[in-house]
Amino acid sequence: MAVQVRGEVLDIRRVGQYHVLSMVAPGVAENAKPGNFVAINVGGEHSSMLLRRAFSIYRTDQRGVYGGTVDIVFSVAGPGTAWLAERTRHDVIDVVGPLGRPFVLPAEPVPCVLIGGGYGAAPLFSLAEKLRERGCRVDFVLGASTEDRIFGALEAKRISQSIAITTEDGSLGERGRVTDVLPRVIERADSAVLYACGPMGMLQAVAKTAERYGIHSQCAVEEAMACGVGVCMTCVMPVVGDDGQTRMVRSCVEGPVFRGDRVRWSEVGTVPDDVIGSIAWTQAVNDSRFSGPLPVAVEEPELIDDDVAAASEELS
Ligand SMILES: Cc1cc2nc3c(=O)[nH]c(=O)nc-3n(C[C@H](O)[C@H](O)[C@H](O)COP(=O)(O)OP(=O)(O)OC[C@H]3O[C@@H](n4cnc5c(N)ncnc54)[C@H](O)[C@@H]3O)c2cc1C
Ligand code: FES
């Protein structure tokens, strides 16, 4: 269950282009699972920055002297993260978490590849530990635009069977993108599951690679979020359900981890016509009421002609 706590900054340090912030956040640390995120109030009490900012949980430690601790990794993207980067030891931070649905772990000890783009690597290290506890082979692929945007290469090396690194400018590892080396890693390890976190384009490419190999993928999305707790619908994405129907689902509560083959990646940011509840879908349902079978099974009240006639009389 998520809690709201006023945590204290324990430490903040630079790692390449990133900041790693550790805070005491009792209740969050104890309940967090790999893939969960926290929503942090930025700017202080009198700030005009009303919306919390979301961050993947990098590490937790339940045995902290002052209570459980939570670590996050961030780069300065705008005013909220700039404010966070200026925090120092003992500053107080208002944090809500753990939020969202975590990664699903395989029931069997199967080989898994963990793919992180930039700071998207952050939630994958605790996942790697959980997978290894279950006897899964873990291979890492980390990618970023430049060397200083690769996060956690040494840590990944320590806890995995192999690590492949790609940078777009070739400053570390192979020049290119994670999906350039991913097929090689999958084939070598005979991987059964891909876990990924990073930019949308990377997740789409990873999901496509998984489909090509007929294996499972789980992708943690970082769709822009306003409330983080399922109220505002800012974060909706078109996702196909078990019944084959597409719905706009909230990535903060139904995600941020989704099955890669269920997200309609190329339509993220749009409302496809066949999404349940879309304008086109509603129009089709209404039209079919008078001219043919419904496009999907729905139960709606019948229009009763007498009621309509009575209402018209009242109006006239
Ligand atoms: C579930 C989740 C987990 C996240 N984890 C991390 C993390 O571990 N580390 C980290 O640094 N950031 C993470 N983010 C992104 C972070 O929340 C946003 O970048 C945040 O808006 C930064 O706040 P800001 O005030 O500094 O910048 P803003 O002024 O809010 O934004 C600065 C720029 O970033 C763009 N932006 C805003 N939100 C996002 C987003 N979700 N994805 C891509 N671009 C965005 C804006 O359009 C703008 O151009 C995560 C987001 C989500 C939804
Ligand atoms: S961010 Fe508000 S519903 Fe997801």
Q: What pLDDT digit, counting tens, does each position of 266-300 carry?
A: 999 999 888 887 777 677 766 665 555 545 554 54
144 closest CA partner among 123, 120, 111, 162? 120
Whether residue 300 lies inside any domain: the answer is: yes
* 90, 15 contact by CB (below 8 A): no
What are the tokens at 276?
Answer: 């349940």
* 222, 120 contact by CB (below 8 A): yes
Examine the fold and report which residue of 220, 242, 274 is the final residue of a domain before the chain moves on. Answer: 220
- CA 17 / ligand 1 centre spacing (Å): 15
Whether residue 105 lies inside any domain: the answer is: no
Residue 215 shares a structural domain with residue 232: no
Q: Is 208 helix (H, G, I), strand (E, B) or coil?
A: helix
Examine the fold and report which residue of 65, 99, 133 is the final residue of a domain before the chain moves on. Answer: 99
- Note the ligand closest to the C-alpha atom of 221: 1
Angle, to 10 degrees, between the axis of helix 200-213 and the axis of helix 178-189? 30
Q: Which domain holds residue 204?
A: 112-220
Ligand 1: atom nearest CA of 122 is: 8
Ligand 2: atom nearest CA of 253 is: 4
Which residues lie below 8 Å from residue 41, measured CB to CB, with a gap of 6+?
Answer: 52, 93, 94, 95
- CA 113 / ligand 2 centre spacing (Å): 29
Residue 37 shares a structural domain with residue 94: yes
Ligand 2: atom nearest CA of 230 is: 3
Ligand 2 site residues (CB inside 6 A) read 225-228, 230-235, 250, 252
Ligand 2: atom nearest CA of 252 is: 4
Neighbours of 82 (CB within 10 A): 12
* pTM for this model (two decimals): 0.89
Residue 114 has what pLDDT? Answer: 98
- CA 10 / ligand 1 centre spacing (Å): 23
Looking from the CA of 166 toward its CB, the CA atoms found within 13 Å total 17
Quote the longest CA-to-CA distance of the chain. Answer: 79
Residue 56 sits in a domain whose CATH number is 2.40.30.10
What are the tokens at 39?
Answer: 């929503």
Cα separations in angstroms, 255 against 50, 103, 228: 23, 9, 11
- CA 53 / ligand 1 centre spacing (Å): 7
Residue 213 sits in a domain whose CATH number is 3.40.50.80
Whether residue 106 lies inside any domain: the answer is: no
* Residue whose structure tokens are 């409330």: 227
Residue 316 has what pLDDT? Answer: 40
Q: Judging by DSSP bridges, how do beta strands 257-259 and 216-220 pair with one another?
A: antiparallel
Residue 62 has what pLDDT? Answer: 85
- Note the ligand closest to the C-alpha atom of 235: 2
Nearest protein CA to atom 11 of ligand 1, as residue: 74
Rounded Cα gap, residues 230 and 226, in angstroms? 9
Whether residue 104 lies inside any domain: the answer is: no
Interior CA angle at 106 toward 38 and 124, to 5°?
Answer: 35
Check if 58 has its Cβ closer than 6 Å to any atom of ligand 1. no
- CA 156 / ligand 2 centre spacing (Å): 31
Residue 187 shares a structural domain with residue 118: yes
Residue 259, class by beta-carbon neighbours within 10 Å (0-12 exposed, 13-18 middle, 19+ buried)?
Answer: middle
Cα 15 from chain centroid?
22
Whether residue 46 lies inside any domain: the answer is: yes
- Structural domain tally of the chain? 3
Residue 16 shares a structural domain with residue 82: yes
Rounded Cα gap, residues 250 and 236, in angstroms? 4
What are the tokens at 258?
Answer: 């989704």
Residue 309 has what pLDDT? Answer: 47
- Note the ligand closest to the C-alpha atom of 152: 1
Residue 311 has what pLDDT? Answer: 44
Whether residue 107 lies inside any domain: the answer is: no
Whether residue 20 lies inside any domain: the answer is: yes
Residue 50 shares a structural domain with residue 131: no
DSSP state, residue 269: T
Ligand 2: atom nearest CA of 228 is: 1
Spell out the alpha helix ranges (H) of 134-177: 153-159
* 165, 173 contact by CB (below 8 A): yes
- CA 229 / ligand 2 centre spacing (Å): 6
Residue 121 has what pLDDT? Answer: 98
Q: List, for the chain, all residue ranges whose pLDDT scores fall below the cut of 50.
A: 294, 298, 300-301, 303-304, 307-309, 311-316
Residue 239 has what pLDDT? Answer: 96
- CA 194 / ligand 1 centre spacing (Å): 24
Residue 66, class by beta-carbon neighbours within 10 Å (0-12 exposed, 13-18 middle, 19+ buried)?
Answer: exposed
- CA 223 / ligand 1 centre spacing (Å): 8
Residue 20 has what pLDDT? Answer: 98
Rounded Cα gap, residues 8 and 92, in angstroms? 5
Residue 134 has what pLDDT? Answer: 94
Residue 215 shares a structural domain with residue 130: yes
User: Quick check: bond before 256 cis, omega within 30?
Assistant: yes
Examine the fold and report which residue of 43, 71, 99 is the final residue of a domain before the chain moves on. Answer: 99
Check if 79 has its Cβ closer than 6 Å to any atom of ligand 1. yes
